[in-house]
Structure 1
Amino acid sequence: MLRIYFTSEDIARTRIAAGADPLWELVLSLQMLRPQRGDLLFTAWRQEACKAVRHAKLGKVRGLLLTLTPNVGYFPDFLNPIQAIHGLDHGIEALRTTPIPMLKRDVGRLAATRRLPDSAWRLATGEPAVIADLTEAMRTCYDLIVMPYRRSIDAALEKDRRIRTSALATGGVEGMLAGLRPMMTWSAGELRIPGHRHQELHLRGRGLLLIPSYFCVSGPLTMFDPDLPPVLIYPVVRGPDALPSRTSMVSAALGALIGSTRAAVLDAIGMREGMSTTALARHLSISPASASEHTTVLRQSGLISSHRDFNRTLHRLTGLGRALLDTNS
């Protein structure tokens, strides 16, 4: 059982992530490539995802990536830096600059549970080529097995977030934590997560970041190292309507026409009129600079309009942009 201990300061500093953490979704989706308890909704997704990864020509780094993400037992903390909550680019950059002592420690812990390839030991020494290959493979896999399903993911996360914020509004943080039953139970400053390996986490005034996850099915997770920023990843409320599906994504033809990321930007603006550049970057796990570049091209092409709102730039579809999306939906 995992026990998380709160002080009054921790209760005040507990919060819910604004959106998906791309590296947690990636790591958990990689684990989902192998069957596990509670994954019946992902059968069709697994078939598509396994095929996509096999055809990606990742070479030997694919074996390293799957070794680092077993679906049972320990997996390294360094795969999930806290910076990823701000987007995939931030997370990948933080992973690339992981201190060597942390790499050695985490790889050593993994080696105690399973046999590792030579590339894992080269990773532990911080070999630049191995780190570059690993992070590029992670980005490729994200584009293949997470990004095409972002509408399903975002819809499920938004539904879960509404449930949690409603509980927060009516019962405060303690009411929100109590509402996470039966995954966990809250009582007198202690959050208990049954089914988790034995671990105690004292927050010590740092608060807790709750991160709802689409690909988390086995139960809530936290970091192995208690000195890392405290997070609790938990499965979103999921029903048959939350099946991972490509059907609601913009078509491949539109992606081929204007580029897959630019098509995703256009689609995101269509989903939420008046979306800011920062919100777009967070929504699509790209950098704000990249989001700004894409919106500039879309605006110059007459597909979106933009206007300033104090210190934000908000974007809306034009009639042409809406027609293009509707034709390719």
Structure 2
Amino acid sequence: MLRIHFTADDLGRVRFAPRPSPVPELHAALLMLGAPHEELLFGRWRGRLSRALPGAAEPLAELVPGGVAPYFLDVLGGTREEGFALIRASGPESVRSELERVYAGRRPVPPWIRALHDGDDGAWRRLDRAQRAAYETVLAPVWPLVQDLHRAEFTRHALIAAEQGLGAALTASAPGSRLRAGVWEWQGGPGASGGPSGLGIPGEADEPAGPAGSDGSDGSGSPGGPGGRDVWLDGRGLVLLPTFHWRGGPLVQDQPGRPVVLAYPAGRGLPLAPNGGGTSEEALTGVLGRTRAELLHVLDEARTTTGLARRLGVSNATASAHAQALRAAGLLATTRTGRSVHHTRTALAELLLNGGAAR
């Protein structure tokens, strides 16, 4: 079991990542590539990527011997380049100590890892090339879909938070989890284990050690075991980051002095999308529901509640209830002039419907 402990300050510092982050998503995909479960659904995807992954990406596996990753890989960043720049900016002492930790008792150590330990620029360039090669093969072809799915998940979270509160939005991210007395509890079991780039919580022995994972002893939470793991936010706050490749349990990025990042498997996941594709419209409808998505579409001009009800073929009360939920989520604005009430789409709704001009 994973237990995340909130203080009163932390409850005011929970935020949802505004956009997907390529480095964690890439590492989640690489982890899923090496995971044995859900073969029926993921077997074809694994086979295709395993054949396509270039040799230039092999150093990534050498960086995480035995599935234990150095913590300096724990970064976000809006682009792959930003993410790698954050990795590259890791202090030399941190890089050296982490490489020594993951290779403790392991021999032989690849020459390029020794060079990275010494701060060699050539070794850093090799890591950059490996990450770029993996990104171009695994993630770049589906990145627009990842962006669409993230926007839809963002909207789903916002709607639940607006209608039912933060606690409901948190537990909706993990069916079966619960929030009580300031502790968010995730039940253990299949998948609640090692994760990409040091993001994993310790898991059961039969769980996969992916191409990147964590030993769970980061110094800020109690180690895993029969009782699970405790993560204490201590006022640092929490960032929710949906991931669309990893289908296991929660992935925790817990670095001293930084907000804790919790990556959770969202929705049905990207590899299950028909033909590896999907559209923003399909994702939005799947999150909002057909009626609310259609309501946003018919607001191509300001409409009254009665006008919305007529266009949607529902009662005025139903149209009003849907409009209220969308308004609470920031997707709809309502203005009153005398006895007339008109609804319009907000800028956020336009962004979602148009697929995001800033892609």
Normalising by structure 2, report the TM-score.
Answer: 0.62
Q: CA RMSD in A?
A: 3.0
In structure 2, the CA distance between the partners of 1:145 and 1:160, relative to structure 1 (3 Å rule), is: same
CA contact 2:236–2:258 (8 Å) conserved in 1: no
1:221 to 251, 255, 275: 251
Deviation at 1:114, TM superposition (A): 5.2
CA contact 1:183–1:219 (8 Å) conserved in 2: no
Could you report, residue by residue, the CA deviation over 1:147-199 in whole angstroms, capped at 9, with x for unpaired residues? 11224433433343333222111222222113234363321111123334223
Match of 1:128 in 2: 121
Deviation at 1:113, TM superposition (A): 7.7
Deviation at 1:231, TM superposition (A): 0.5
2:96 & 2:274 partners in 1: Cα distance?
36
1:180 & 1:18 partners in 2: Cα distance?
16
Normalising by structure 1, report the TM-score.
Answer: 0.67
In structure 2, the CA distance between the partners of 1:25 and 1:39, relative to structure 1 (3 Å rule), is: farther
Amino acid across the alignment from 1:30: L
Q: Does 1:66 align with 2:58?
A: no
2:63 & 2:271 partners in 1: Cα distance?
31
Q: Does 1:178 align with 2:147?
A: no
| Structure 1: gaps of 5 or more residues | 250-269, 281-329
Match of 2:264, SS state, is strand
> Which structure's residues are more often helix, by fraction?
1
Deviation at 1:108, TM superposition (A): 2.3
Match of 1:208 in 2: 238
Amino acid across the alignment from 2:32: M
2:72 & 2:7 partners in 1: Cα distance?
27
Q: What is the count of residue pairs matched by the alignment? A: 251
Amino acid across the alignment from 2:172: G
Q: Whose radius of gyration is greater, 1 or 2?
A: 2
Match of 1:216, SS state, is coil
2:95 & 2:233 partners in 1: Cα distance?
24
Amino acid across the alignment from 1:145: V
Amino acid across the alignment from 1:233: A
Could you report, residue by residue, the CA deviation over 1:197-224 in whole angstroms, capped at 9, with x for unpaired residues? 2233221222100000012222111125
Match of 2:247, SS state, is coil
Match of 1:165 in 2: 158
Amino acid across the alignment from 2:119: G
Deviation at 1:131, TM superposition (A): 0.9
1:110 & 1:210 partners in 2: Cα distance?
27
Q: Does 1:24 align with 2:17?
A: no
CA contact 2:64–2:102 (8 Å) conserved in 1: no
1:69 & 1:244 partners in 2: Cα distance?
32
Q: Does 1:80 align with 2:110?
A: no
Q: Does 1:107 align with 2:95?
A: no
1:5 & 1:90 partners in 2: Cα distance?
30
In structure 2, the CA distance between the partners of 1:204 and 1:271, relative to structure 1 (3 Å rule), is: closer
Match of 2:251, SS state, is coil
1:232 to 225, 247, 262: 262
CA contact 1:33–1:50 (8 Å) conserved in 2: yes
Amino acid across the alignment from 1:67: E
| Structure 2: gaps of 5 or more residues | 189-200, 203-223, 280-350
CA contact 2:145–2:277 (8 Å) conserved in 1: no
* 18-27 or 165-174, larger mean C-alpha shift: 165-174
Match of 1:91 in 2: 83
1:188 to 181, 185, 193: 181
Match of 1:146, SS state, is helix
Amino acid across the alignment from 1:237: G
Deviation at 1:117, TM superposition (A): 2.5
In structure 2, the CA distance between the partners of 1:52 and 1:181, relative to structure 1 (3 Å rule), is: closer
